Structures are given as structure tokens and as C-alpha cells.
Amino acid sequence: MVIQHKIIQGVSDKCSQDEVVSACMMYGSFTKGEGDQYSDVEFYIFIKDKKMENFSSKNWVSEIYPVDLMFYNEYGTEVVIFSNMIRGEFHFLPETEMAIIKSFKPTGVFPDPEAMYIYDSTEQLKPLLDDLGGVGPDRMTDDNVNFAFNNFVNAWLMGVNVMRRGELARSLETLTHVQKYILQLLRVKEQTVERWLNSTKNLEKDISRESYKDYVAITSKLKEHEIKAAYKNALHIAEALHELLGSLYTIDIDKDLMNKLYSYFNQ
């Protein structure tokens, strides 16, 4: 048993014993049968509204397992670094905000909503989780393909411009966005779009060796010749994907624009 299971059980036990807790659900790798010793533990914990004002999330989590660090990240999630170097993500919300679970449905696939259930004293949680089940959002659509292509062009052009200005670090940062949109298109090509919003997860297993080589070709160190090669390769790969996917989807970008990008790069 990995140590994360001990933490998960600790959260479950505390929720059932603590009268301030109304309900608790888990999300992430352990609810999808993918959790291992390197995985995070992630929870939404709903607190009785009248108890929120004096509730201390740090004290609550520390009673489950020793905590070295706990803070809010840029998304408003409380991140926990446990003393055993396990990462945790905790959302503590008032009970009246439990309907937020409805907003999860468009974000991905939830193969086993029952595995997400931890505790509920309100009888509201299970129906909300059950609604998450079934087929996930359709990612293989004209809108999504255009989203990836259009944002690729935007990120690619910005990255090339700042590279030419001599801002190599910024160009390398922008390259990560180029990679993201190329990878989404590769996943459309290979019909592995379940991880659309987290496209690098399990990439080594999810896509073919050929597509993985394409992805490697658009990575780079902070060296001008490598960055330039990555942007050039990205354009080649985007062109090939445009030709392939153009027969299946209505794409805003036309061949003339692709040619203009080539000409601009070669100036």
C-alpha cells in the first residue's frame, strides 16, 4: 500500500468524525485507478456554513498527517506539502457551494464517480457525483481543432518575434504554449483526447512513437539554435497536421496563411 492511501483513509476518518464537515469528495489519479507513490491526493471538503468563519484548514489537515508547508496557489487551491513529501490539494468550501461539482463535467472524463465519494451527511453529494459519470465532453470537434490551430499560430508568432528580439528566455517560455497546442492536435490525430486539458499526462503511454518524436522535436534548451529549430519543427508538424485534419474538420487557417508563416520565419 502506498502512503497516499493512509492519508486518504485519514481524511475519510476525520470527515466522518468531525461534526463541522458536511461532505467530502476526492478527485485526481486515485479516483481513476492511476494513483501511485508519486501521485498527489486531492479533495473537496464542504464545511457547515456556520462553522466556516472559525475553521482552520491548516489545523484540520495537520491532524491527519504532519504538514511541512501549506499555502494558497495562484488558482486559490490550498496546497499541502506533507512531511513525507506527498503533495495534496484541498478545497475547503461551505456546504451551500456543493453544487460547484456540476461545473466539473465539461472538464474531462470521470470513469468512476463512486471512487470520488468519501463522506456525506447531507445526501446531496452522491447525486452530484453520479451526474459526472458517463461519456466526457466531445473534444474532436471543429471548435476544438480550431482552438488548437488558432492558438498555435498566436503562440508561435509571439515566440518567433521575441526570439528575434533576443528575448530567448521569453521565447522558450512561449514555446511551452506552442507545445501545448501541437500536442492537443496530435491527440486529436490519435484519438486520445481524454486528457485534453492535461495533455502531457501519461504521454509516453498514450500516443504513438511517431507522435512522441514529433513532440520531442519541439522541445528545447535555452540555446538560440535549439529554440529556433523547435519553432521551425513546430511549423512543419502543424502543416502536416493541417493537411491530415483538414479532410476531417473545417479549419479556419488556410494554406496561404501557413505559407506566410514559413515566409516570415525564413526572413
User: Can you give the pLDDT at residue 171?
Assistant: 98
User: Can you give the pLDDT at residue 167?
Assistant: 98
Q: 84: helix, coil or strand?
A: coil
The Cα–Cα gap between 134 and 112 comes to 9
Which residue in the block uniquely carries the three cell numbers 490550498?
78
How do the pLDDT tens digits run along the chain, 267 residues long? 799 999 999 999 999 999 999 999 999 999 999 999 999 999 999 999 999 999 999 999 999 999 999 999 999 999 999 999 999 999 999 999 999 999 999 999 999 999 999 999 999 999 999 999 999 899 999 999 999 999 999 999 999 999 999 999 999 999 999 999 999 999 999 999 999 999 999 999 999 999 999 999 999 999 999 999 999 999 999 999 999 999 999 999 999 999 999 999 999
Find the Cα–Cα–Cα–Cα dihedral 110, 116, 121, 125, rounded to 10°: -10
Q: Using an 8 Å Cβ cutoff, are 248 and 189 in contact?
A: no
Give yes or no on whether 3-130 and 142-265 have one common fold. Answer: no
Q: Using an 8 Å Cβ cutoff, are 99 and 130 in contact?
A: no
Superfamily holding 3-130: Beta Polymerase, domain 2 (3.30.460.10)
- Residue boundaries of the structural domains of the chain: 3-130, 142-265
Contacts of 171 (CB under 8 A, 6+ apart): 159, 160, 162, 163, 227, 231
User: Can you give the pLDDT at residue 248?
Assistant: 96
User: Can you give the pLDDT at residue 25?
Assistant: 98
Q: Which fold has domain 142-265?
A: Four Helix Bundle (Hemerythrin (Met), subunit A) (1.20.120)
User: Can you give the pLDDT at residue 242?
Assistant: 97
User: Can you give the pLDDT at residue 1?
Assistant: 76
